[in-house]
Each structure stands twice: as structure tokens, then as C-alpha cells.
Amino acid sequence: MSTSQSRPVVLITGATGFIASHTIIQLLEEGYDVVGIDNLANSKKAVINRITALSDRSIIFRPVDIRDEKALDELFTVYPINSVIHFAGYKAVGESVEDPMLYYSNNMKGTTILLEVMAKHGVKNLVFSSSCTVYGNAEQCPITEESPLQPGNPYGRTKWMIEHMLSDLAASDPEWHITSLRYFNPIGAHPSGEMGEDPSGIPNNLIPYITQVAIGKREKLYVFGGDYPTEDGTCIRDYIHVCDLAAGHIAALESLHGNGYEVINLGTGKGYSVLEVIRTFEKVSGVTIPYEIVDRREGDAVEVWADPTKAYKKLYWRALFDLERMCNDAWLWQLRNPEGYRSNELPFASSEDQFSLSTIIDHSTKITLRDTKTA
Ligand code: NAD
Ligand code: UDP
């Protein structure tokens, strides 16, 4: 990473996660410098290696938890960070029902600590990962930003509460520029097939489950519910390519200064049923997906798709990739990485992990080189 002040430095929380990693690639391509942190609760360090290989640039990465106020404080002291894209958090709906405090602690408390440290250092530009989950089982589609908010589970409520916190913060101090992006269903992978979604254990989400069936890791897909009031009886979602989503973050970051607090949907504006996704995947991969229609999954909304008009008006952004492309890229990623990222792929020396930030202050150039070598 350059130590010059000329390029904007963005702190990415949850940097090794699915959406953040794709966003970092685009930030690097756009000339930003990136400091990434992640506690690796749901991702692997190997991601950093792939980012470096694909972008031909390195980032500063630290295995930091957003609840570690001291570590955050040190990062803001050392690096000239001027904005934050905050992805870090837990996201499994079922887990949030079983263990809500895990979610309130990590997502809410973590964000509170991050905001306090940002304020302390006068860094008041923030893009936040929210979710269409805040709309719950919407009464009407397409969903606009003004649609009623009725999150139906603790995970969704953490996003909803954080949005309120951010809105209050921006209202209290005009120096804050904050955009909450409500993502619809991010799928797909980097077109190279070198980065993608890497769920641990049995995938909760549709596309990773389908790709694992296609590659023979799972016997068949269980389609949750075939008796919904939709054309083919299965639920409808607005699937969006992760690279389109990444581009939405750059657009949001670049338009931050025009506003105090904004909420923006990031979706394609098109809904597809589960059976349509299966058929599209089969078409692009040439692989038949055995499936069985089973009981509905508790808490699933019938139909969720976005009105993305505001994103176009405010950010001049719209999704470019279609469902075929999303399926194609997810399949390529699965084929090239049948086991996902390998944990031994990027042997970070333990001494590197433990590197004292005070050493970095004294020898920033030297550390930059070390980062390049190890990332
Ligand atoms: P992900 O799990 O791949 O990425 C989240 C990252 O945050 C992980 O790498 C995890 O290790 C890290 N993390 C969690 N708690 C942390 C903490 N306390 N400190 C530091 N790092 C921490 O998930 P993703 O799909 O890339 O989602 C990113 C964000 O987008 C999340 O906030 C999620 O709630 C939100 N979101 C995701 C979806 C989706 O379907 N993938 C939809 C809407 C919103
Ligand atoms: N789904 C399914 N089988 C699976 C996973 C998901 O039928 O193994 C369905 C789910 O009921 C929903 C859609 O696929 O209608 C998208 O689910 P996902 O978990 O990917 O995203 P969600 O919209 O729930 O966040």
C-alpha cells in the first residue's frame, strides 16, 4: 500500500467476507488504498492472497475484531483513513433466532464501537451493509425505500436498529455522511472464478447449495415450499451479481458528500422463483439439479424484489449482470474451488499477525513491503 496521502484510504470491515472481497477488488482498480480488517469468524485469510493476485495491488490486512476498540483506535491512528465501508457482522437468520444475543452483541455493539472510534478520529464517511431483510414479508413488490419496515428475525432487527442509529447520528451532526445500502440477494462470483462465496458447513443459501449439488457434494436440493401464491409455487427473490453490488458500493462511497443520511436499495428490479433459478443454472452449467420440494422454511417471505430507481437517480448505478451470468460465475467458482478457499493457501506467519502497530508507525515503508509479500 502506498503511504502517500494522495489516494483516499478506505477502511473495510469484514474484508475477507464474500461481498467485501469483491468490493475491495473494485476499490483497488479505482485507485483507492484499502485497509482491511476481519476477525475471520466466517472467512479465510486466503482471500487476501486472491485479491492481491487479481488486482496486482496489495492491501493492509489486520485480523481485528470490530469490538476491539483499542485495536481500531490504533488503526485510525496509524493509517490516514478517510472513509469506512462496514460489512462486518453475522448474517445467518436461523442462528440469530437461536442465539439473538450473539447478533445484538456482534452486529449492534460492534457497530457502536466502530462509530465511536470513527467519531474520535473525525472520520465521518460511512457506507453500511444493510439488507432487504429489514422489509420482512413485504406486502407489495417492487419494494421501495419507503416500503414499511418489519424485520421478522433478530438478524434483520440488528440491521434495522443500526439504520436508526446511523440516521440519528447523521441528524445530530452534519459532518456525518452515511449511506445504508439494502442489498437484495447477492450471488455469483468474480468472473475469473478465483473469488466467490465460501460458506462453512451446509450452505443456508440457494446458490451455494445448488453449486454443491452440481459438483456432487450434496445429493439433491431441497426446495423450501412449493405451495406459495406465486406462478410456480416457489418463493421469488431479486438475485444480484456480487460484482454489481460491489460497484454499487463504489458509487455510494463517491456520492457520500452530497448527503447526510441515505438509504438505498441495491437490487436488479427483477424477481425469479426458486425453480427459475434451478432451470437457469441447469442451462448454463449443463448439469441437472435433482431437487425435492419440501415444507416451507420458517420465516421465508413469499416475494421480495426491489425497486432500484433510487439507486439510479442518486448513484447513477444499476445492475448489469443477468441471472445466467450470475449462475455461470458461481458455477465457475465452484468448479475451480471445490473446497472453497483452502485455509493453508496463505500461510501468514504468526509473527506477522502479532505485528505491533507501534512498529508500523515507526517503519511504515518497511511494513508496506512486508504486507505486499505476505498478502
Ligand atoms: P460474510 O460472512 O462473507 O462477510 C462478513 C465478514 O465479517 C466475515 O468475513 C466475518 O468473518 C466478518 N466478521 C463478522 N463479525 C466480525 C467482527 N466482530 N469483527 C470483524 N469481522 C467480523 O458475509 P457477506 O455475505 O459478505 O455479507 C457482508 C455484509 O452484508 C454483512 O453485514 C451482511 O449482513 C450483509 N448482507 C449480506 C447479504 C447476503 O445475502 N450475503 C444480504 C444482505 C446484507
Ligand atoms: N431456498 C431453497 N432451498 C435451499 C436454500 C434456499 O429452496 O436450500 C429458497 C428459500 O426458501 C428462498 C430462496 O431459495 O425462497 C432464497 O433463499 P436464500 O437463503 O438464498 O436467501 P434469502 O432470501 O432467504 O435471504
Q: What is the DSSP string of 164-214?
A: HHHHHHHHH-TT-EEEEEEE-EEE---TTSSS----SSS--SHHHHHHHHH
Distance 93 CA to ligand 2 centre (A): 11
Cell of 196: 466467490
The 8-class DSSP code of residue 37 comes to E
Pairing of strands 272-273, 236-237: antiparallel
Nearest ligand, CA of residue 69? 1
Pocket test for ligand 1, best of 13, 21, 24, 42 (most atoms within 8 A of CB): 42
- Which residue from 107, 246, 144 is spatially nearest to 186, judged by alpha carbons? 246
Task: Establish whether the linkage from the previous residue to 142 is cis, with ω within 30° of 0.
Answer: yes
Number of helices (H), then strands (E), in the chain: 15, 14
Please give the CATH architecture assigned to the domain spanning 9-336.
3-Layer(aba) Sandwich (3.40)
DSSP-derived 3-state class of residue 127: strand
Q: For the range 364-373, what are the long-range contacts, defined as Cβ-Cβ under 8 Å and sequence gap of 24 or more?
A: 364/3, 364/78, 365/3, 368/1, 368/2, 368/3, 368/58, 368/60, 371/1, 371/58, 371/59, 371/60, 371/61, 372/1, 372/52, 372/58
- Which residue from 173, 204, 166 is spatially nearest to 86, judged by alpha carbons? 166
Phi, psi of 195 (to 5 degrees): -135, 140
The answer to whether the beta carbons of residues 349 and 63 sit under 8 Å apart is no
The answer to whether the beta carbons of residues 296 and 225 sit under 8 Å apart is yes
Pocket test for ligand 2, best of 206, 237, 276 (most atoms within 8 A of CB): 206
Q: Per-residue pLDDT tens, the chain, 375 aa: give them.
A: 444 445 789 999 999 999 999 999 999 999 999 999 999 999 999 999 999 999 999 999 999 999 999 999 999 999 999 999 999 999 999 999 999 999 999 999 999 999 999 999 999 999 999 999 999 999 899 999 999 999 999 999 999 999 999 999 999 999 999 999 999 999 999 999 999 999 989 999 999 999 999 999 999 999 999 999 999 999 999 999 999 999 999 999 999 987 899 999 999 999 999 999 999 999 999 999 999 999 999 889 999 999 999 999 999 999 999 999 999 999 999 999 999 998 767 544 333 333 332 323 222 222 222 222 222
| Rounded (10°) angle between helices 69-78 and 110-120 | 30
Distance 234 CA to ligand 2 centre (A): 10
Which pTM was predicted?
0.92
Task: Give the domain ranges of the chain.
Answer: 9-336
Q: What is d(CA 334, CA 336) in angstroms, rounded to the nearest whole number? A: 6
Which one-letter amino acid corresponds to residue 344? N
Residues annotated as catalytic are 155
Cβ(205) to ligand 2 under 6 A?
Answer: yes
